[in-house]
Amino acid sequence: MEAVRERPLFTKYYDSVAQFQPEGPSTYIYAASLEERSAFADAWLTAQRSGGVQFVRIVEQRHEDAQFRARLDDGTEIPVSLRSRGQLSSFVDGLATRRVYLDITGQDQSTWAGLLRACLAKRIETMVVYTEPMEYSYSTAPIEGEIFDLSERIRGLEPLPGFARLHGSSDDFILVPLLGFEGPRFAYLVQQLQPDSDNIYPIVGLPGFRHEYPFYTYWCNKTTLVSTRAYRQVRYARANCPFSLFHVASDIMHRNAEKPLRIAPIGTKPHAVGAVLFVLANASSGQLVELVYDHPIRKAKRTSGASRVAVYYVSSFLPAT
């Protein structure tokens, strides 16, 4: 079998945000949260306007009714329902260019996943941008499975808007959790879905964003890995690479071709991008593949600083799958 490391990876890295500049003509879609790493796009607005880059800022993201509100360069604000493929399609049709940078750093998963699907459906040249944090915030009162202070609570399992798929009542399915630093999220998935222990294939980010991060991942998820014996079936994909994740998930699916597959993006954002691409690529396959997500409420100051920037050329990758 071809090694994952030898497969084409459509990615460009920049050592800092200062080195990355979007190329025009293009549209740059982003949101600025309270995390420092999500706000640097605002500094480009004046400088880049003359360079042919149109900026679209997501100014509001509402989980309760699955909507976002986008502000265009001219100040016009557009509400978009994430449950309406028609509204998402109209939104991307109205963008100033057919070349889009989708900066997911400050966007909720529901928002960027819906926009990514709409852009790819319209065959828009799409690059996903992700900025790594300099540091994660350590918990002042760490408990078992949580050494970082990342989420306030879990809202509950429900599909991402627009990604729901009907499935049968069979309990014989494959669960692929993409593990991060929040052990309670993995435990919650297992508790809610009740998969057979032999059918759990966790994916750990290796190499990690830092050398020590895979060890943190194991430590944070140790209780559930041991109680389910899922540690026997752990797989590895580069923590910062959606395409590595895509290929590893494909390998798991092909080894279990007779069973539905549920993939849970509860780890890194690049892995979540790979999960969305994987589900989109297999939407019309004979095997049921679906996303399951627990919709955490994130802490406002969960990270500090901004480190490397990755640009993923997703529209170049997907036709090659």
- Buried/exposed code over 211-228 (b: 16+ C-beta within 10 A; e: otherwise): eebbebbbebbeebbeeb
Residue 273 contacts residue 104 (beta carbons within 8 Å): yes
Residue 241 contacts residue 250 (beta carbons within 8 Å): no
Indicate the average pLDDT of the chain: 85
CATH node for 4-134+305-320: 3.40.50
Residue 5 pLDDT level (bands cut at 50, 70, 90) = very low
Q: Tell me the pTM.
A: 0.89
pLDDT at 240 > cutoff 90:
yes
Token digits of residue 85:
């493929």
Give yes or no on whether 4-134+305-320 and 137-298 have one common fold.
yes
The whole-number pLDDT of residue 150 equals 53
- Please tell me whether residue 185 adopts helix, strand or coil conformation: helix
Segment 90-142, tens digit of pLDDT? 999 999 899 999 999 989 999 999 999 999 999 999 999 998 876 655 555 45
Segment 190-239, tens digit of pLDDT? 999 999 999 999 999 998 888 888 998 999 999 999 999 999 999 999 99
Q: Respond yes or no on whether the N-terminal peptide bond of residue 214 is cis (omega within 30° of 0).
A: no
Domain layout of the chain by residue ranges? 4-134+305-320, 137-298
Segment 249-262, tens digit of pLDDT? 999 999 999 899 99
The whole-number pLDDT of residue 114 equals 97
CATH node for 137-298: 3.40.50
225's CB contacts (< 8 A; 6+ apart) are 186, 202, 218, 231, 234
Nearest to 315 by CA among 110, 73, 26: 26
Q: From CA 234, how far away is CA 212, in angstroms rounded?
A: 18
pLDDT at 2 > cutoff 50:
no
The whole-number pLDDT of residue 20 equals 87
The whole-number pLDDT of residue 300 equals 62
- Please tell me whether residue 196 adopts helix, strand or coil conformation: coil
